[in-house]
């Protein structure tokens, strides 16, 4: 059945398709690029081959020159054929890292190769950790099992196991633990801090998970503070040594759609309660996210109507550019559902949402919200294509001629040369897109090709390939 | 295991893909896990390629690991064969398939039965060869395949072209300034009255390969790519080849003289001496440049050179022999071909450095403190850290090394480009140095301009801390916008909430 047929056969609910999985995306080891920057005292060791190294080196461009806190443990023929002892080799490299960088944690990233040769990283880590005195966290972020942003999911799921089990009780312990916090309070008096506490409603502890740039962490925390909700901690924190306390019964909420393993780990291993909400992407998503958290804590949200309306008003100049236009997601980073939902609310139509992997349970609230948004806006429900086939997608793009294709860099230039507007999907993972404050940044990205091409439109330079080359 | 941050030459499959995607209507299918098709991004971005890169992956996932690829690879090959009708599909092994040890040749044989086009397995071992060696080998493999195929069918053309002619071998996609070099070499051949028979692999169709033997000789401009192919052709057809890189005035002349000798041996009667003299003295500016006062100022200045064999060797000779610059050390990352490099450069530099460890190179640069570096992008960054200018002469390269303007490194126009590159690197260094002596153009502290210069507003500590997280180059703008926002609303204390409220209101 083709995608077009299936869509017409059932217009009432979302259609889920699954194709061949022949699509382009980044290798999940790319997560080290943003995680080493986020977790300031970490060191990421990618245990793989030249292929992995070449990818990281090229994908991260200039970052590579800034003495990054990551490196390859490049496997050689002797490692593959087990002529060399894995434990001894890793020990040698980790000691070198300890000597040169002295990190608070070393994260081992397992790759395809370590999977195939069945290197027992999870087994080696605890022993080596004991021997060298630095925590070693193992994440198997490989291209056999995962796509792009799911790499972060595997790392955070592994980190979740390292979060302290209980809040220190004694006051003296507390003082020690919050030494840095105290510094940040700039010697505020106790009463002041107590008064700060009183700004919050009494609710069970809430920990948010997902790696975001620090400014966005501040913004989202402030947003919840306005509702009297206190964020007890973030997974990950700025430093490995500051991982949040997670006790049984804590509430957790994800801020990104690709964190299903982390969510599962927090629920099953740490006995947390997951607040399943749409993700705070776009003003509609941000509001729904806050409302859901409020509702779980029995809080009546205040001022969200005006807040959302205000943001939409400020977005109007951008929304005007995309209203009534169509956008096609080829799918490579798992943000697709949330972005599509937001863009539909902006007045766009979405014929297809490609996505590497669809966790219908973890994304349930987001999917329901997408469905509702489509109904509210009176647009047809999109088809969600899991494990898409890029070749087939290009045929569909040729047929539908969408106004915008959100895609990876492998297809962007060739599509532009054929007169199709594209936006490079990876930018959405690196830009600040969460919360009310950054809604404009999403539209800044989405409208950029349209604005650029508006200024070029009278030149007659849309199609820049000679014969219609085979797609 | 080796701790590594940076590598000069890529993994083997990149070389195979570079050759495959250089040919017209050749498709490569990688036997690789999800995410290993990063080559497509590089080609699309760096070369700003308008067409879809003819490379797809036959994805190795958990199921393949458990049960083997079974029909998957064969299906992917036959599917691509019917979708795009390529002349040739090259099944490309990666590091992953190297250890899976599936019988890829068997897949190829089976797929061949159901495909209209040809199917071939790239014979490269990930753990034994690098990008450059793999490219060299793949090109030779394709040439041999089509030569043998034509011979079997009996349509191998006999005899040579009427006029002297040449095959230019080794021009490929993602090669350093390859497109421009190719244009320049074709022009040079035109000037010499030599027909260009076939250029491979770039832009060539595999159907042209059977005609290779019609040329009088082969020209291999790059040491890294093409040597295996020309040696094969020399063996099969007794075709002579010229492997002198025409980069720099002296080497270009040497290359032309060698061409003269090769074609005169086959009955041509040419004398290029007048052409060489005219070009050297009057057309290329490089010879005159080395006489001019500017270049006099470069005499004895210290430089270091690092890159691939072709470019590092040619550059070393140009600097030492044509400009009187003191090359303290010259190095290459082509360890597998180190003897050739040593032989080429040892009389033109004090020391030869053979390594692919960028740390060692960085240290060697810091140790000798040259006035200029000629290297790859990595050396450019070392130069930045040490405040030494760097001209980029070899891959690995970034997008700025794929200029759209005409910038060959070879032939007579190439000599002009290289002279500019060298001169600009050194003067910038001198200028910088003089500026330092005389205290610079300007003071470093920019006086705050505009409305926030004399602020009546108070930034709270958390507000200020948040402001400082904003990247330096936009911080001033954010500060001004925020203060304007606060002033308009009569807010006296700017804290973090005001900062973000301002951002939302102005949308900046």
Residue B366: CB atoms within 10 A of its CB come to: 13
Domain count, chain B: 3
Q: Are B306 and B320 in contact (CB under 8 A)?
A: no
Closest Cβ–Cβ partner in A28, A51, A413 for B50: A413
In a domain, B144, yes or no: no
Q: Are A140 and A121 in contact (CB under 8 A)?
A: yes
Residue list for the binding site of B: 36, 429-430
Based on the fold, state whether residues B101 and B61 are members of the same structural domain.
yes
User: Residues A340-358: what's their mean pLDDT?
Assistant: 97
In a domain, B296, yes or no: yes
Bridge-based pairing state of the strands A70-74 and B2-4: antiparallel
In a domain, B228, yes or no: no
Contact call for B3 and A93, based on CB within 8 A: yes
Contact call for A215 and B48, based on CB within 8 A: no
The pLDDT value recorded for residue A195 is 63
In a domain, B178, yes or no: no
The pLDDT value recorded for residue A456 is 81
B3 touches chain A (CB under 8 A): yes
The distance of B258 to chain A (nearest Cα, Å) reads 38
Higher-confidence residue of A295 and B63: namely A295
The pLDDT value recorded for residue A190 is 60
Q: How confident is the model at residue A308 (pLDDT cuts 50, 70, 90)?
A: very high
B342 touches chain A (CB under 8 A): no
Contact call for A218 and B33, based on CB within 8 A: no
Q: How confident is the model at residue B436 (pLDDT cuts 50, 70, 90)?
A: low
Q: How confident is the model at residue A8 (pLDDT cuts 50, 70, 90)?
A: very low
Residue A126 has pLDDT above 80, yes or no: yes
Its ipTM equals 0.88
Considering the entire predicted model, what is its pTM? 0.89
Residues of chain A contacting B60 with CB distance shorter than 8 Å: 112, 144
- Hey, which CATH number is domain A28-146, 1.10.390.10, 3.40.47.10, 3.40.50.1980, 3.40.30.20? 3.40.50.1980
> Which residue in B has a C-alpha nearest to residue A61's C-alpha?
B398
B294, B350, B363, B432: which is the annotated catalytic residue?
B294
Residues of chain A contacting B500 with CB distance shorter than 8 Å: 218-219, 222, 437
The distance of A409 to chain B (nearest Cα, Å) reads 5
Based on the fold, state whether residues B444 and B411 are members of the same structural domain.
no
A52 is in an annotated binding site: yes
Q: Are B220 and B226 in contact (CB under 8 A)?
A: yes
In a domain, B466, yes or no: yes
Residue B313 has pLDDT above 60, yes or no: yes
Homologous superfamily (CATH) for A304-459: Nitrogenase molybdenum iron protein domain (3.40.50.1980)
The pair of structure tokens assigned to B277 is 């003299």
B56 touches chain A (CB under 8 A): yes
The pLDDT value recorded for residue B449 is 40
Q: How confident is the model at residue A1 (pLDDT cuts 50, 70, 90)?
A: very low
The pLDDT value recorded for residue B66 is 85
How many residues are there in chain B?
A: 508
Contact call for B35 and A148, based on CB within 8 A: yes
Contact call for A72 and B94, based on CB within 8 A: no
Based on the fold, state whether residues B396 and B474 are members of the same structural domain.
no
Question: What are the beta bridge partners of residue A18?
Answer: A386
Contact call for B4 and A391, based on CB within 8 A: no
Contact call for A24 and B381, based on CB within 8 A: no
B294 belongs to the catalytic site: yes
pLDDT in tens, B125-175: 888 999 999 999 999 999 999 999 999 999 999 899 999 999 999 999 999
Residues of chain A contacting B76 with CB distance shorter than 8 Å: 22
Contact call for A74 and B4, based on CB within 8 A: yes
Highest mean pLDDT among A73-77, B81-85, B459-463, B487-491: B81-85
Q: How confident is the model at residue A13 (pLDDT cuts 50, 70, 90)?
A: confident
pLDDT in tens, A441-457: 999 999 999 988 887 87
pLDDT in tens, B220-262: 999 999 999 999 999 999 999 999 999 999 999 999 999 999 9
Residues of chain A contacting B503 with CB distance shorter than 8 Å: 437
The distance of B19 to chain A (nearest Cα, Å) reads 18
Residues of chain B contacting A58 with CB distance shorter than 8 Å: 38, 41-42
Strand order in the sheet with A70-74: A136-139, A105-110, A42-48, A70-74, B2-4
> Which residue in A has a C-alpha nearest to residue B100's C-alpha?
A116
In the CATH scheme, what is the code of domain A197-297?
3.40.50.1980
The pLDDT value recorded for residue A5 is 44
Q: Out of B114, B130, B146, pick the residue that ends a domain.
A: B130
DSSP 8-state class, residue B259: H
In a domain, B256, yes or no: no
**Cis ω for the linkage preceding B396 (within 30 of 0):** yes
The distance of A5 to chain B (nearest Cα, Å) reads 22
A272 is in an annotated binding site: no
> Which residue in A has a C-alpha nearest to residue B75's C-alpha?
A20
Distance of CA B115 to the CA centre of its chain: 34
Residues of chain A contacting B4 with CB distance shorter than 8 Å: 53, 71-72, 74
Query: Percent of chain A at pLDDT above 70?
Result: 89
The pLDDT value recorded for residue A459 is 81
Closest Cβ–Cβ partner in B10, B128, B507 for A314: B507
Closest Cβ–Cβ partner in A143, A148, A465 for B36: A143
Q: What does the domain layout of chain A look like in residue ranges?
A: 28-146, 197-297, 304-459
Residue A193 has pLDDT above 90, yes or no: no
Distance CA B363, CA B356 (A): 13
Higher-confidence residue of A180 and B403: namely B403
Question: What CATH number should be reported for the domain holding residue B378?
Answer: 3.40.50.1980
Based on the fold, state whether residues B303 and B410 are members of the same structural domain.
yes
In a domain, B395, yes or no: yes
- 184-203 of B, contacting A, C-beta below 8 A: none
Which helix (H) or strand (E) segment is A355 a member of?
strand A349-355
pLDDT in tens, A316-348: 999 999 999 999 999 999 999 999 999 999 999
Q: Which residues of A315-324 are buried (b: 16+ CB within 10 A; e: fewer)?
A: beebbeebee
Based on the fold, state whether residues B337 and B414 are members of the same structural domain.
yes
- 255-274 of B, contacting A, C-beta below 8 A: none
Question: What CATH number should be reported for the domain holding residue B488?
Answer: 1.10.8.550
Q: Are A109 and A46 in contact (CB under 8 A)?
A: yes
What domain range includes position B477? 440-508
Distance CA B238, CA B389 (A): 46
Question: A197-297 and A304-459 share one CATH topology?
Answer: yes
Residue A253 has pLDDT above 50, yes or no: yes
């Amino acid at each position: 059945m083709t995608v077009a047929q299936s869509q017409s056969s059932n217009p009432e609910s979302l259609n889920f398709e699954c194709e061949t999985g022949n699509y382009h995306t980044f290798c999940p080891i790319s997560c080290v690029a943003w995680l080493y920057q986020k977790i300031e005292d970490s060191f990421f060791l990618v245990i793989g081959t030249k292929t992995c190294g070449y990818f990281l080196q090229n994908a991260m461009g200039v970052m590579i020159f800034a003495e990054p806190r990551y490196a390859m443990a490049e496997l050689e023929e002797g490692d593959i054929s087990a002529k060399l002892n894995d434990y001894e080799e890793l020990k040698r490299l980790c000691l070198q890292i300890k000597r040169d960088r002295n990190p608070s944690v070393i994260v081992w990233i397992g790759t395809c190769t370590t999977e195939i040769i069945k290197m027992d990283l999870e087994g080696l880590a605890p022993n080596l950790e004991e021997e060298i005195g630095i925590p070693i966290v193992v994440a198997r972020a490989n291209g056999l099992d995962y796509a792009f942003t799911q790499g972060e999911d595997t790392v955070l799921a592994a980190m979740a196991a390292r979060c302290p089990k209980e809040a220190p009780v004694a006051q003296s312990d507390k003082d020690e633990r919050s030494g840095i916090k105290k510094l940040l309070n700039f010697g505020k008096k106790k009463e002041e801090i107590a008064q700060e506490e009183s700004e919050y409603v009494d609710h069970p502890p809430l920990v948010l998970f997902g790696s975001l740039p620090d400014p966005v962490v501040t913004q989202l925390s402030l947003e919840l503070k306005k509702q009297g909700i206190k964020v007890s901690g973030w997974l990950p924190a700025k430093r490995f040594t500051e991982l949040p306390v997670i006790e049984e019964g804590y509430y957790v909420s994800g801020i990104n759609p690709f964190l299903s393993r982390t969510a599962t780990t927090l629920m099953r291993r740490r006995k947390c309660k997951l607040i399943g909400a749409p993700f705070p992407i776009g003003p509609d998503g941000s509001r729904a996210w806050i409302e859901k958290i409020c509702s779980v804590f029995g809080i009546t949200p205040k001022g969200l109507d005006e807040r959302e309306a205000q943001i939409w008003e400020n977005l109007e100049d951008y929304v005007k550019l995309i209203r009534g236009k169509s956008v096609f997601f080829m799918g490579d980073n798992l943000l697709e559902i949330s972005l599509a939902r937001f863009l539909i609310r902006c007045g766009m139509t979405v014929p297809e949402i490609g996505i590497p992997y669809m966790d219908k349970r973890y994304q349930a609230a987001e999917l329901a919200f997408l469905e509702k948004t489509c109904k509210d806006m009176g647009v047809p429900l999109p088809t969600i294509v899991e494990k898409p086939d890029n070749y087939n997608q290009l045929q569909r793009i040729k047929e539908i001629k969408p106004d915008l294709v959100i895609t990876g860099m492998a297809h962007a230039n060739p599509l532009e040369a054929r007169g199709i507007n594209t936006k490079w999907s990876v930018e959405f993972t690196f830009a600040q897109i969460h919360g009310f404050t950054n809604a404009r940044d999403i539209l800044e990205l989405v409208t950029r090709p349209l604005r650029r091409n508006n200024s070029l439109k009278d030149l007659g330079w849309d199609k820049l390939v000679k014969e219609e080359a085979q797609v | 295991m080796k701790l590594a941050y940076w590598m000069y030459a890529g993994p083997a499959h990149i070389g195979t893909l570079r050759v495959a995607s250089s040919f017209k209507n050749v498709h490569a299918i990688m036997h690789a896990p999800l995410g290993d098709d990063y080559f497509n991004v590089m080609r699309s971005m760096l070369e700003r390629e308008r067409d879809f890169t003819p490379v797809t992956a036959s994805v190795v996932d958990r199921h393949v690991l458990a049960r083997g690829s079974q029909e998957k690879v064969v299906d992917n090959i036959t599917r691509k064969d019917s979708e795009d009708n390529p002349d040739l599909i090259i099944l490309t092994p990666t590091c992953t398939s190297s250890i899976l040890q599936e019988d890829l040749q068997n897949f190829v044989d089976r797929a061949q039965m159901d495909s209209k086009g040809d199917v071939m397995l790239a014979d490269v071992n990930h753990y034994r060869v690098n990008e450059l060696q793999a490219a060299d080998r793949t090109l030779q493999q394709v040439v041999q395949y089509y030569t043998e195929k034509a011979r079997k069918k009996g349509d191998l053309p006999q005899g040579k072209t009427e006029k002297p002619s040449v095959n230019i071998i080794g021009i490929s996609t993602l090669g350093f300034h390859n497109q421009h070099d190719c244009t320049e070499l074709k022009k040079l051949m035109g000037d010499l009255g030599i027909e260009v028979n076939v250029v491979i692999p770039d832009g060539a169709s595999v159907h042209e390969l059977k005609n290779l033997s019609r040329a009088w000789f082969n020209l291999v401009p790059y040491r890294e790519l093409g040597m295996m192919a020309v040696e094969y052709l020399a063996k099969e057809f007794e075709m002579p080849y010229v492997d002198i890189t025409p980069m720099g005035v002296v080497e270009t002349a040497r290359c032309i003289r060698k061409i003269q000798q090769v074609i005169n041996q086959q009955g041509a009667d040419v004398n290029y001496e007048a052409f060489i003299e005219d070009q050297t003295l009057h057309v290329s500016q490089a010879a005159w440049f080395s006489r001019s006062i500017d270049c006099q100022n470069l005499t004895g200045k210290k430089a270091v050179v690092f890159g691939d064999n072709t470019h590092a060797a040619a550059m070393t000779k140009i600097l030492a022999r044509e400009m009187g610059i003191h090359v303290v050390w010259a190095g290459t990352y082509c360890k597998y071909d180190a003897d050739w490099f040593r032989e080429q450069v040892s009389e033109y530099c004090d020391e030869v450095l053979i390594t692919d460890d960028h740390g060692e190179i960085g240290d060697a640069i810091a140790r000798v403190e040259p006035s200029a570096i000629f290297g790859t992008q990595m050396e450019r960054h070392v130069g930045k850290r040490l405040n030494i200018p760097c001209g980029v002469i070899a891959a690995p390269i970034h997008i700025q090394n794929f200029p759209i303007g005409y910038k060959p490194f070879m032939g007579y126009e190439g000599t002009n480009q290289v002279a500019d590159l060298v001169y600009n690197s050194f003067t910038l260094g001198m200028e910088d140095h003089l500026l330092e002596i005389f205290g610079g153009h300007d003071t470093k502290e920019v006086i705050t301009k505009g409305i926030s210069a004399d602020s009546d507003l108070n930034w709270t500590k958390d507000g200020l801390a948040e402001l400082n997280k904003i990247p330096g180059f936009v911080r001033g703008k954010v500060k001004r916008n925020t203060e304007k926002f606060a002033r308009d609303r009569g807010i006296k204390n700017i804290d973090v909430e005001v900062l973000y409220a301002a951002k939302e209101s102005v949308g900046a």
